[in-house]
Structure 1
Amino acid sequence: MTDISPLLLAMDLTGVFIFGLTGGTVAVRRQLDIFGVIVLSIVTALAGGLLRDLMIGAVPPASLRDDRYLIAALLSGLVAFFFHPQINRLVKPVMVLDAAGLGLFAVAGCGKALTYGLTPVPAVLLGVLTACGGGVVRDVLVAEVPRVLREEIYAMAALLAAVIVIAGAELGLPRTPVAIAAALAGFLLRVVSVWRGWSAPRAPGS
């Protein structure tokens, strides 16, 4: 069993809570009961990390080995259920929370993949999968086209964050500043892309 750094653990748990909030907020908007809100929160919070851990051989997955993951996901569902009016006062709350979780999970996923000995390209892919997995499951469960497949830049924001982590590792830069910069870059690209209406390129003539 390979232990991850306290920084990656903190980013992973923070990402779990934030993504759980997005799942819970969407569930409240869809008028699900408290059970539905909690289930959607937990699935959204843990799906990406669960897939990542299974693919790199980190078994049992962290979300099943460390109670803090399930507790963070459960708390996020309860917070969304009881405090959704306050959350909805944010401008586009789901998008903002989703962008924050996206950056954190991309960094944590890529960093954990490197810790388990993966080379840069697979580590980047695992970072993107960690960041996008929970959101994809959330959107599918509420019968929406996943954001990662829409026009808005989504996976590219996670890709940017993961690439910054790899660049920092290759250059031997301090991990903490690199991780913070990478998470912030992913968050800002996602938010700015929505506000400015940027989108990924389409096939010519489509």
Structure 2
Amino acid sequence: MIRVVIAEDQQMLRGAFASLLKFESDIEVVAEAPDGNQAWEAIRRHRPDVCVLDIEMPLVSGLELAERIRNAGMPCKIVIVTTFARPGYLQKSIDAQVDAYLLKDEPIDFLIESIRRVMNGERVISTDLAAALFMKEENPLSEREAEMLRLTKKGMSTDEISKALFLTKGTVRNYLSSAIQKLEAESRQQAVNIADEKGWL
């Protein structure tokens, strides 16, 4: 029996995944979670064979959760599901050693088949996502510049970022200005949107 934890913040989709998987005689859904923190607790408690993780969840993202699972040395297989065919996200998933990376608009049979395939040691990537790998762009941002954009995305002002990171406001503005220039954006918010779209934040 393949024991599965499903983490997905959209209740209807999470329920649909669970209901359809329960029809399979060799798959048991042992827990469902609406956010990354509850998913982590469920994974620690149930020690599933496979974790099906939404890439964008409240509190802890699917990618952060994948890294946590790997850092904890847990042997469970990781299946990331996403609506986004972003090369940056796919690269991060590969770096996090996930076992499958699937688009949510794939047929449910593909998810079921993928769960069985990763249990057999295979790696599965949706065809459309595999094509995205070859369109991968190099991230031009330094880690500091990306950090500034991440904090801007959270709604923090220059003043708040400077206090949080113990940097002068001028230094913060310089990093943001550099990021805006590299991304050929017209504002810091546009730079955030571009970097986020490409999976660089």
Same fold (TM over 0.5): no
Task: Say which structure, 1 or 2, has more relative contact order (CA 8 Å, 6+ apart).
Answer: 1
Bigger radius of gyration, 1 or 2? Answer: 2
Which structure dedicates a bigger proportion of its chain to strand? Answer: 2
